[in-house]
């Protein structure tokens, strides 16, 4: 019987941990999202809070860099210009979102869920809960009403299905989700 491990989701704390994200599952970030290591580092330096990692609870608050990663997701805060281009279908994947599209000094006009990935049942539960909590926090504290998603993994599709009660498939199509329609779910997620 597998031992239950306690996982938590934290913002990626440092560049060494980001390297674990980039190497996670043989470079799934590059394979699924088509994001190069250079682009990921640029995004991380522009908007470090966009990168979330699933780590063991005992490792979450420990000192030192380079925490072992068991899953991750990237939730990009977007400028209004980027939201407009997504709605016009001028952007068809996250690799087309550049640093200038990230709302780093202004309230975001929307969010883009770039990648959701985890290894193992308990890590998948933690990554889905962490993603829903992060989206709920943006909704509650910043009034973000729009989430763009491109479910490329089963974890991402499952999280979206849980949040919306609509069936999503890992079809790599960008969907716009009106978060206010899910107020009851998002408002009561933990802060």
pLDDT value of residue 123: 86
Q: Is 44 within 8 Å of 66 (Cβ atoms)?
A: no
Pairing of strands 146-150, 110-118: parallel
pLDDT value of residue 111: 96
Averages of pLDDT over runs of 10 residues in the chain (191 residues) are: 68 84 78 80 86 82 70 92 96 87 90 85 86 89 91 75 80 87 64 45
pLDDT value of residue 188: 55
Which residue in 137, 168, 127, 162 sits closest to 28, CA to CA?
127
Q: Which domains does the chain carry?
A: 7-187 (3.40.630)
Count CB neighbours of 35 within 10 A. Answer: 22
Distance in angstroms (rounded) separating the CA atoms of residues 121 and 124: 5
């Amino acid at each position: 019987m597998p031992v239950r491990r306690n996982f938590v989701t934290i913002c990626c704390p440092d560049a060494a941990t980001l390297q674990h994200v980039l190497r996670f599952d043989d470079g799934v970030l590059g394979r699924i999202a088509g994001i190069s290591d250079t682009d990921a580092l640029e995004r991380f330096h522009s908007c470090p809070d966009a990168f979330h990692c699933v780590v063991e609870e005992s490792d979450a608050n420990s000192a030192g860099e380079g925490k072992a990663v068991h899953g991750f997701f990237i939730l990009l805060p977007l400028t209004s210009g980027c939201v407009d281009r997504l709605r016009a279908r001028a952007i068809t994947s996250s690799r087309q979102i550049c640093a200038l599209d990230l709302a780093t000094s202004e309230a975001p006009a929307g969010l883009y869920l770039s990648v959701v990935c985890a290894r193992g049942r308990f890590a998948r539960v933690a990554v889905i809960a962490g993603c829903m909590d992060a989206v709920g926090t943006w909704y509650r504290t910043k009034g973000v009403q729009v989430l763009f998603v491109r479910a490329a993994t089963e974890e991402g599709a499952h999280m979206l299905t849980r949040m919306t009660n609509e069936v999503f498939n890992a079809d790599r199509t960008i969907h716009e989700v009106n978060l206010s329609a899910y107020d009851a779910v998002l408002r009561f997620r933990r802060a």
